Structure 1
Amino acid sequence: MATAAEKVIVIGAGMGGLSAAIRLAHAGLDVTVVDRAPGPGGKMRTVQSIAGPVDAGPTVMTMRPVFEQLFESTGTRMTDYITLNRQDVLARHWWPDGSSLDLFADRDASRDAIGRLAGAQAAAEFSAFCNRAERLFHAFDAPMMRAAEPRLAGLAAHVLRNPDLIPAMAPLKTLASSLEFGFSDPRLRQLFGRYATYVGGSPFLTPAVLALVWHAEEQGVWQVEGGMHALAQALKKLATDKGASFLFNRTATRIEIQNGAAAAVHLSDGGRLPAGRVVFNGDPAALSAGLLGDRLRTTLPAAATQPRSLSAYVWSFAATPQGPDMVHHNVFFAADPRQEFGPIAKGHMPQDPTLYICAQDRGTGRAPHGTERFEIIMNGPPVNGTAAATQKEMETCRIRTFETLAQFGLTFTPRPDVTALTTPEQFARLFPASQGSLYGRSPHGMLAAFRRPTARTTMTGVYLAGGGAHPGAGIPMATLSGKHAAEAILTDLASPSMSPQTAMHGGTSTA
């Protein structure tokens, strides 16, 4: 029978929580995962439609080796649990001027397509951008994304040993200003600036180094057979196969602290689950808000969770489309990106939005017919509080979304009503203390990555995982966060000292 110290409660069955649970159960610990939702996935959620479950969260699987390594670390193979379809076309893009562009998993094919769109100079600029993004990705993959506790001093030393990285980083530029310097065609500046939204930021405020996000996508995009939620189900099955147990439709209300360390998790139904280690796979802001007990309010500095990243207005529905030939991932651009991000910065719905559409039933190699499933995402601001969205706001979003698409010639029959919409206010209620923010702390500012909390908190036995913790948003990053949390627990259990480390993880570096 496991001792209390070897019992682990994971609060939240999102990607970070599932990743941690799998590794800890495989290591022989007694692991229980608790989630207030009826099933796994966290933000990787679905809603029902006449054509079956529709994704209402993340739609892109990139950085496939992260997931393969998770399965391989337990002696299993990912292909035994899920089926993936590699996408030759990464995304199809349209602009209001009638132009369109496909980007491919093959760099030469993308360069040729850009050349046809905007000429030889643009093609050369794209090649230079790809080389820069690739260098940045490989330079920061190990010391930042895969490091459990990145340090500013360590990263500075890494850059000083490789000074040719400094021009590629463009440390005094935002992503938008670096793209303005790197691309003569405004459409390409707008396209590659969109990658800031992958981590919940505006291209006008995120650092230029986030150009590396493009390389992560260029390495490959995969469609998950059955929808993205099938990935969460596969990870739940793997965790169960390794001995973890799950309690769904249960809300964790408090982490009990005894003698300065985690002792149990209390549930809304009155249950008490003893545990010496607790992984919180939710928005870290919930700890600061006291949602899991007053003793945890001071475990994180304010800068670890504020300011907030973007939210979104998300449509999930089934309908029959008519118009442009879509692929699995599609982007319909606004005429002026400043007219999108300007209102968002002021807390408003964008007047002229860029709209992303995931055509869930495409990308399988089998052409869909008739009714298909779609997810449409419009960027939006986080909210203050959790007040319900007004009917007027939801109708405004409906008109703005589908009339914008109609200008591109794209229509849906039937046009979904507002019951198919999830607003920032609704996300705020789904994910407590998040303010509707879908990516945790804002990525704006050169040091934002160092403000994000790491796996360990200052409370012994309490750990963090998920998109709000290091290394950040996106399903590969959240999966890595679970790895960091599991490794921290296993290290601490093996240590003769049970006291917390003295470093303020996630705080301002004192280097």
Structure 2
Amino acid sequence: MQCRHSDRIGQSTRPPRVAVVGAGVGGLAAALHLAASGAEVCVLEAADAPGGKLQPVRLGEHLLDAGPTVLTMRWVFDELAALAGQSLEDATGLTRLPVLARHHWPDGSRFDLPADPAAALDAIGDFAGAAEAHRYRAFCERIRGVHDTLLHSFMAAQRPTPWSLAWRVARQGPHGLARIAPFHSLWHELGRHFHDPRLRQLFGRYATYCGGSPQLAPATLMVVAHVEQQGVWSLPGGLYRLAQVLVGWLRARAVPLRCGCAVRALHWRGARVAGVVLAGGEVVAADHVVFNGDVSALPAGLLGDGARGAAAPVAAHARSLSALTWTAVVPRQAADLLRHNVYFAHDGPREFQQLFGERRLPADPTIYLCAQDREAATGTAAPHDRLLCLVNAPALGHGGQGQPDAAALRACERQVQQRLADAGLAIALGGPREGLLRRGPAEFAARYPGSGGALYGRAPHGWRSSFARAAARSAVPGLSLAGGSVHPGPGLPMAALSGRLAAQRACEALGLPMAPA
């Protein structure tokens, strides 16, 4: 399908036209909001399929999740379903996981964290003692307050300034700023709540959900723990099906989606964006453009010189984490796995010092393993395991500098394989073979232009980091921004919220009333 073209841009005889560049979750959400608000929308995607980081990997006859594996904040997607006149549950068959993850430590201890706070309280008491359970109760009360403070003032709102956020928080009560502790690190505040170093390491891992270090990220990221308590969901077959559902809702509204359609530059009419120019030279005219890609592509000039001023560049040292991942299909493993499994490093602070201070693969990395076929609700045992294994890696520097060399990759691979073998997992990670795909920072940099392989945009380090992210309204008239590298941040629900915020800015610019969610 193609977007229609016209020289009548600006006339009132037709609905305003919006081109959405990028069919990741942020772009698909923006397109749904805009179509529901009466705009004529088309979506342009450079890859051969929609979904962005949700695109699966195909290994033989198997499809595997290879990007996001966790769905939270279900209400965000329920709102998108309502816009489409659909039911999210009916469309996806999503299942709520009773256990958030199984955690392993080098000392041999293991802990399953239930999603339900009451069950988690009992489990923590059994694992770490009554005193630690008491401290966990206080932690839950605090993170509930952090969530309630930030939801409408930050996460679901247009990007604030430090002063406007302080004003919004102050209106909610005198203890708002003290509760979210924006000037303290997540690691510092977790140390106040937990005396058991294992629990501090467990909850500190939430910084990596935004591509950061718990020693450097602000304490506000405690909110992730509360979000997970509200539900972590999986989809039968794979989380990539969420993108397929969103595309289906767009098609029901007759919104064209063109894949294999790379955008070369913005198209201009005077000082205002008036569409985009495709790689083959075709011009897609539009009254407004929503860019749903890594925001660093704009100051890098990847959409033309005129787009360089749309957002501030992200310095190489300010980039978030990248990753080294292996997707594999293997005979069903004897190890007792859940869908989400974490194998912690011996020394967490040292791991992040190597990642961010020394800009190298850690010698002893924390390993995340998603076992896609270990769904407790199915009651069946597949003859194979579809696995995504991930360790954090530093993003590349400017010009692609900092890619781990072959020796460093092999050393990391051997370390990960041995750790998994110690846990009872017979998975051969080394060398190319059928049923295995390895990706690293260089591959992610190629897939997401301008990113340097950083998977989460700017690293969430320091209290200013939240205000340094690009806002939905760019500095270029006629251009709005969406995606995990802009406000409110990375993750599927945040990307979807960024799409709503970008659609809101586009509607304001076009004089359209925004459709209520």
TM-score by length of 1: 0.93
- Aligned 1:293-312 pairs, distance under 5 A: 293-302=304-313, 307-312=318-323
Match of 1:468 in 2: 485
Report Cα offsets for 1:86-126 as digits up to 9, x if no partner.
Answer: 10111111111111111112111111111111110111111
Q: Distance in 1 between matches of 2:369 and 2:380?
A: 17
Per the TM alignment, residue 209 of structure 1 is displaced from its structure 2 partner at its CA by 1.5
- Aligned 1:154-165 pairs, distance under 5 A: 154-161=164-171, 162-165=173-176
1:60 aligns with 2:73: no
Q: Distance in 2 between matches of 1:327 and 1:199?
A: 23
8 Å CA contact 2:266–2:303 kept in 1: the answer is yes
Match of 2:383 in 1: 370
1:353 aligns with 2:368: no
Long gaps (5+) in structure 2: 11-15
Q: Secondary structure at the match of 2:318?
A: coil
Match of 1:168 in 2: 179
Matched pairs, number = 495
Per the TM alignment, residue 341 of structure 1 is displaced from its structure 2 partner at its CA by 0.7
Q: Distance in 1 between matches of 2:89 and 2:21?
A: 27
Match of 2:13 in 1: none
- Aligned 1:143-158 pairs, distance under 5 A: 143-158=153-168
Q: Distance in 1 between matches of 2:483 and 2:420?
A: 33
Report Cα offsets for 1:18-43 as digits up to 9, x if no partner.
Answer: 00111212223221111111111111
Q: Secondary structure at the match of 1:81?
A: helix
1:77 aligns with 2:91: no
Quick one: structure 1 residues 416 and 244, their matched pair in 2 at CA, closer, same or farther if it must change by over 3 Å? farther
Q: Distance in 1 between matches of 2:346 and 2:489?
A: 30
Q: Distance in 1 between matches of 2:512 and 2:85?
A: 26
Per the TM alignment, residue 247 of structure 1 is displaced from its structure 2 partner at its CA by 1.1
Long gaps (5+) in structure 1: 497-511
Match of 1:90 in 2: 100
Match of 1:178 in 2: 189
- Aligned 1:3-82 pairs, distance under 5 A: 4-5=9-10, 6-50=16-60, 52-82=62-92
Q: 1:408 aligns with which of 423, 427, 437?
A: 423
1:118 aligns with 2:125: no
Q: Distance in 2 between matches of 1:295 and 1:216?
A: 39
Quick one: structure 1 residues 22 and 166, their matched pair in 2 at CA, closer, same or farther if it must change by over 3 Å? closer
Q: Distance in 2 between matches of 1:108 and 1:472?
A: 29
1:458 aligns with 2:475: yes
8 Å CA contact 1:328–1:362 kept in 2: the answer is yes
Q: Distance in 1 between matches of 2:305 and 2:63?
A: 38
Residue identity in the other structure for 1:276: D
Q: Distance in 1 between matches of 2:431 and 2:229?
A: 35
Q: Distance in 1 between matches of 2:318 and 2:406?
A: 28
TM-score by length of 2: 0.92
Residue identity in the other structure for 1:351: A
RMSD of equivalent CA atoms? 2.0
Q: Distance in 2 between matches of 1:151 and 1:216?
A: 24
Report Cα offsets for 1:215-254 as digits up to 9, x if no partner.
Answer: 0111100011121110011111111111211111121010
- Aligned 1:407-426 pairs, distance under 5 A: 407-412=422-427, 415=429, 417-418=431-432, 420-426=437-443
Q: Distance in 2 between matches of 1:341 and 1:304?
A: 19
Report Cα offsets for 1:330-358 as digits up to 9, x if no partner.
Answer: 11111110231111012100111111111
Quick one: structure 1 residues 102 and 495, their matched pair in 2 at CA, closer, same or farther if it must change by over 3 Å? closer
- Aligned 1:300-449 pairs, distance under 5 A: 300-302=311-313, 307-345=318-356, 346-363=358-375, 364-384=377-397, 385-386=399-400, 390-412=405-427, 415=429, 417-418=431-432, 420-449=437-466
Report Cα offsets for 1:53-102 as digits up to 9, x if no partner.
Answer: 11110000000000001111232222342110110111111111111111
Q: 1:205 aligns with which of 200, 209, 216?
A: 216
Match of 1:274 in 2: 285
8 Å CA contact 1:25–1:243 kept in 2: the answer is no
Residue identity in the other structure for 1:437: A
Residue identity in the other structure for 2:73: M
Q: Secondary structure at the match of 1:420?
A: strand
Match of 1:506 in 2: none
Percent identity for Structure 1 against Structure 2: 41
Q: Secondary structure at the match of 1:322?
A: coil
Match of 1:503 in 2: none
8 Å CA contact 1:304–1:451 kept in 2: the answer is no
Q: 1:225 aligns with which of 236, 241, 244?
A: 236
Per the TM alignment, residue 7 of structure 1 is displaced from its structure 2 partner at its CA by 1.6
